[in-house]
Amino acid sequence: MRIALIGYGKMGKAIETIALQKGHEIVLKIDLDNAHELTKEYLGKADVAIEFTGPSNAVDNIKKCMDAGTPVVSGSTGWLERWNEVEQYCNTSKGSLLYASNYSIGVNLFFELNKYLAKLMEPYGEYDVQMEEVHHTQKKDAPSGTAITLAEQVLKQIRRKKLWVNQEAGTPDELQIISERTDPAPGTHKIKYTSDIDDLEIIHTAHNRVGFAGGAVLGAEFLAGKKGIYSMKDVLGL
Ligand SMILES: NC(=O)c1ccc[n+]([C@@H]2O[C@H](COP(=O)([O-])OP(=O)(O)OC[C@H]3O[C@@H](n4cnc5c(N)ncnc54)[C@H](O)[C@@H]3O)[C@@H](O)[C@H]2O)c1
């Protein structure tokens, strides 16, 4: 498969290593210094693009891939307030998008576990629920995209919580997410249920970026040749 890498930072480099190991070819590498090369002509040489740049430029990059007719796997976080706009753009341009706030297989299994635990805990109002996430200090957004996905899953099940807040909860209906930034930390997420009697918690800790990069390459293999919008649930058949 011929891959275009958009964003050649920590994730772009980790994805390149895995893609080459799997026998794929990198036909285009775009970073800030050659961003003008993200054109229809260059993108046309790729079967699929993998976009990991960050919150500010993700939407423009994704739209350029759709304009060029190149399926795009995006992992950039911190832009989902524009999701509806991107979804509409994908539909009108007949584009292809795979998006996940987290591409690691372990985290996607953790999402399923989180939903199941929240469903079990819903009837037991004596338990409060809180979240924590830890990432490296260069991370631009807080809370992490993964923490937001986890929080939304909890809010869907636990009716006594109405909204998430990225600080200490002020009222019992707020789901608190505490974000900690420290180095090195590829990513830890914890969901904790506490009562006077006992505590239950589930934790996912990434040891490195290999899981995210491997999942993104798997996602690219899945997306090439398809139209429409997909998630890691589709890739993993969950
Ligand atoms: N979904 C996931 O599984 C997952 C996993 C890890 C990181 N992320 C997210 O991916 C993004 C990138 O993470 P990273 O750790 O590689 O960051 P990074 O800062 O190491 O790399 C980002 C790169 O993108 C480049 N860039 C910025 N704007 C650009 C543009 N307009 N065109 C081309 N290149 C541009 C930067 O110069 C940089 O080299 C972040 O939003 C991060 O939160 C997602």
Q: What is the pLDDT of residues 75-110, one digit of tens each?
A: 999 999 999 999 999 999 999 999 998 999 999 999
Q: pTM for this structure?
A: 0.91
Across the range 34-43, mean pLDDT stands at: 97
Task: Judge whether 139 counts as a catalytic residue.
Answer: yes
**Residue 52 CB–ligand 1 contact under 6 Å:** yes
Angle of helix 83-92 relative to helix 58-68, nearest 10 degrees, comes to 10
How many whole angstroms separate alpha carbon 80 and alpha carbon 202?
Answer: 25
How many whole angstroms separate alpha carbon 102 and alpha carbon 45?
Answer: 27
131-140 pLDDT per residue, tens: 999 999 999 8
The secondary structure of 95-121 as a DSSP string is -EEEE-S---HHHHHHHHHHHHHHHHH
Rounded distance from Cα 186 to ligand 1 centre (Å): 13
pLDDT value of residue 139: 92
Whose tokens are 């199941």? That residue is: 116
How many whole angstroms separate alpha carbon 186 and alpha carbon 177?
Answer: 18
pLDDT value of residue 55: 95
Choosing from 24, 64, 135, 204, the catalytic residue is 135
For 2, phi then psi, to 5°, come to: -100, 125
pLDDT value of residue 88: 98
Count CB neighbours of 40 within 10 A: 12
Identify the band that residue 128 occupies on the pLDDT scale cut at 50, 70 and 90: very high
Choosing from 139, 192, 226, 227, the catalytic residue is 139
Across the range 27-44, mean pLDDT stands at: 97
**Residue 76 CB–ligand 1 contact under 6 Å:** yes
For 90, phi then psi, to 5°, come to: -65, -45
pLDDT value of residue 50: 98
Q: Which domains does the chain have, with CATH numbers?
A: 2-101+210-236 (3.40.50.720), 105-205 (3.30.360.10)
Residue nearest to atom 33 of ligand 1 (CA): 31
Across the range 203-212, mean pLDDT stands at: 95
Across the range 52-66, mean pLDDT stands at: 97
How many whole angstroms separate alpha carbon 33 and alpha carbon 24?
Answer: 24
**Residue 18 CB–ligand 1 contact under 6 Å:** no
Residue nearest to atom 30 of ligand 1 (CA): 32
Burial class (CB in 10 A: 0-12, 13-18, 19+), 92: exposed
pLDDT value of residue 134: 97
Pairing of strands 199-205, 188-194: antiparallel
Residue 67: helix, strand or coil by DSSP? helix
* Bond prior to 143 in cis (omega within 30° of 0): yes
pLDDT value of residue 106: 95
pLDDT value of residue 45: 96
